[in-house]
Chain A
Amino acid sequence: MDDILNTGNVPYVSEASVSVEIETEDMTLNIGPQHPSTHGVLRLVAKVDGEKISSVEPVLGYMHRGYEKLAEVRTYPQITTLVNRIDWVSGFANEIPFIAATEKLMEIEAPERAKHIRLILTEMARIASHFVFNGAYALEIGALTPIFLAMEDRERILDLIESVTGGRFHPNFNRIGGVKPAAGSGPTTKKNVQDLPAGFYQETRDAMEKVLEAVERMEDLVGGNEVFKARTKGVGIISKELAEEYGVSGPILRASGVKFDLRTQTDFLPYDKFEYEIPVGENGDCYDRWYVRLLEMRESAKIILQAIDSMPSGPLQTKVPKVIKVPKGRSYVRTENPKGEMGYYVISEGGLGPYRLKIRTPSFSNISILPVLLEGQLLPDLIAIMGSLDFVLGDVDR
């Protein structure tokens, strides 16, 4: 451990031996917790021989906030506030599996309209998350411009989310049995509950057009760049078998050629009503992981446009008791988060809050593949591979 913690002097110990090659000791390089491309406070203890990495060990826990424990002393409606903050890049999508698990235990179902609104906002969160990935990944490869464009494009999506929920990152919009009445669309009366803000449909249509344009542009600017291709194609290949063994999920799994998307399997959100494709990669390299996410943005935009057109009318909330008590039981619901498979295991003893809440986050499972993937790679490839896994540290440490 001493050599890991020693960050001061450069340990350059060379032992010239009789053999032809000079044997040198590997240098221990601490990448993170404070490093520009570790997405926060991930720390990688890498043993490097020059630029080549001989082994790497991720050290987690710098952002552990104890949400699982914290949830045990909160009531169910209060927990949505917490789960928002797990993966802050796609706050809304985090609420969905928790709400689903709770509603499953209570054996209630949200009205159709609420489900549609949830779906639209989830897909918006997906687009926002992938915008961040697209910009940040290009930045990690060394191109500075795409992040500015991506952030500007994401802003439109965040504005829309804000107009409905009142929050940009942490919407806290789901209620058990429906969604919160939307913000900013006139006074609330008992009979005429606030709904989506005025002009939301048209603004969403415009924004989705812009998203499709942005995807096109990103494909040209980043994907069409020879240097970008040279840096990402054939780098960090995750084979189908490896991906399945390590339990990676989401776009990373699909980039490796496994057509697995929980959206097709869940009945919690009405994805079966809409037509969309599931983009699948071929090689499982960094380029494919980037490209799959780009294509997913396009599909999400299509889903949103369809959902806007087929929005059912009706109430936003089913009838639930004033004080929510969940009957004794256990439930596990997993949904497709932008980053992968997210699941909540709720154990209820019949009280106001859960007895135990286990959160299965995509980023945590996805980065478990890092040591295998990074062995023998070069330092710049480490950044390229790490970036392509698109993790958020809040999602890793919870």
Chain B
Amino acid sequence: MIDGSQILVTAGIVLAFALNGAVIFTILDVKGASWMQRRPGPLHVGLRGFIFPLAEIIKFFQKEDITPTNVDAPVFKWAPAYVLASVFGLFVVVPISPTLVGSDLDLGVFYLLAISSLSTLGVLTAGWSSANKYSLMGGIRAAGQLIAYELPLILAVVGVVIQAETMSLVGIVEKQIEFGLPFALSGQGLAFLIFMIAATAEMMRVPFDMPIGESELVSGFLTEYSGVRFLIFYIAEYMNMFVLCAVASTLFLGGYHVPLLPPEWVNFYGPVVLITKTVLLGFILVLVRWSFPRFREDQLQNLAWKVLIPLSLLNILITSIMKVVF
């Protein structure tokens, strides 16, 4: 029985989780960057650099929110909100602990994959409505990237679903607990790798950041955005990164579970464990981001269609055979 107050509490928890995730990953990203690039700002200045994201946010609030003359104003103004909302939607099904979950849908994985493609629609409309050629190219690149990388993402998860025999995310974690090993170490290693690569492309992070590609497209679909609207895109990007890492750790790394800790206390240590795993994955993304150049658009498509999709199909085949045999 779900009543109003329960929905409010659930929404509050999801919201807090999402916003904190964005903050954690912003700090992780800027600190990783400054550590690799010896930038003093986010590393040493002001409370050992932890004040930096706050300064960043205040900076965006100070800036003027410009709506250029020729833009399609309603679409232009609402696109950031749309992107943010679609990323929020992803958090609903991610289990922080067996009971701390927005909604444990039976078709959780299905819902997740469906919602994750929505944000690109927002990016495409942002690019289209900006009335800027660079924005348009950025938006179209994002759409092309989504079509290419949604497939390996889904196909990689199919392997997990076959092995777990359920689409509920809590169910998948329970299955890994039952099995004793996370899926990444028991048969789905390849799928994990494919998932992470495809997820990086979904987040539009280096080396797949062509929709933004600041050296080619100025800022891609973000070119005309400024002030708070830019900030919303910025937050959505880090939230997306956080939630996809959280999903990866749920699907492949055992989610909130960690061996040796008493299972009855899982509601207390579950969130910490999940966030730790997520941050570790995020750290890998940070390392990749600050050390890799950007792929070219056709190379990205080649990688998706000629390498990742065949590999993920192969993974499904092997998983199915193993499932039938054992």
Contacts and interface: CB of A to CB of B under 8 A. Distances in A.
Contact of A379 (B132, B209, B216): B216
Contacts of A148: 37-39
Contacts of B131: 8-10
B215 A142 contact: yes
A106 interface: no
A380 interface: yes
A144 B207 CA distance: 11
B296 A37 contact: no
Interface residues of B, number: 31
A37 B294 CA distance: 14
Given A10-B133, A148-B38, A383 B216 contact: yes
Nearest to A379: B216
Interface in A34-86: 35-37, 51
Given A10-B133, A148-B37, A378-B296, A142 B291 contact: no
A27 B133 CA distance: 9
Interface in B280-302: 290-299
Contact of A142 (B37, B38, B209): B209
A35 B36 CA distance: 26
A311 interface: no
B206 A142 contact: yes
Given A51-B137, A227-B207, A231-B295, A380 B213 contact: yes
Interface string B158-174: 00000000000000000
A29 interface: yes
B290 A8 contact: no
A131 to B, nearest CB: 15
Interface residues of A, number: 33
A227 B292 contact: yes
A231 B207 CA distance: 11
Interface stretch (A133-141, A175-183, A300-308, A313-321): A133-141
Contact of A145 (B37, B136, B217): B37
A272 interface: no
A221 interface: yes
Interface in B6-42: 33, 36-39
Given A9-B70, A10-B133, A230 B295 contact: yes
A324 interface: no
B210 A221 contact: no
B293 A141 contact: yes
Contact of A10 (B136, B291, B292): B136
A247 B209 CA distance: 36
Given A35-B218, A231-B296, A378-B297, A143 B291 contact: yes
B214 interface: yes
Interface string A369-381: 0000000001111
B133 A37 contact: no
Contacts of A378: 296-298
Contacts of B209: 142
From B290, B294, B295, B297, residue with most partner A Cβ within 10 Å = B294
A63 B131 CA distance: 29
Interface string A1-31: 0000001111000000000000000010100
Given A10-B133, A144-B37, A144-B290, A230 B216 contact: no
Nearest to B210: A380
Q: Tell me what chain A mostly uses at the interface: helix, strand, loop, or mixed.
A: helix
A257 to B, nearest CB: 25
B166 to A, nearest CB: 37
Contacts of B291: 143, 145, 221, 225
Contacts of A379: 137, 216-217
A271 interface: no
Contacts of A105: none
A380 B38 contact: no
A216 interface: no
A233 to B, nearest CB: 12
Contacts of B215: 36-37, 139-142, 383
A143 B292 contact: yes
A56 to B, nearest CB: 14
A71 B133 CA distance: 42
Interface string A342-383: 000000000000000000000000000000000000111111
B70 A8 contact: yes
A152 interface: yes
Interface string B174-208: 00000000000000000000000000000000110
A228 interface: yes
Contacts of A145: 33, 36-37, 290-291
Interface of B: 33, 36-39, 70, 131-133, 136-137, 206-207, 209-210, 213-218, 290-299
Interface of A: 7-10, 27, 29, 35-37, 51, 138-145, 148-149, 152, 221, 225, 227-228, 230-231, 378-383
7 contacts: A8-B131, A51-B297, A143-B293, A145-B37, A227-B293, A227-B294, A230-B296
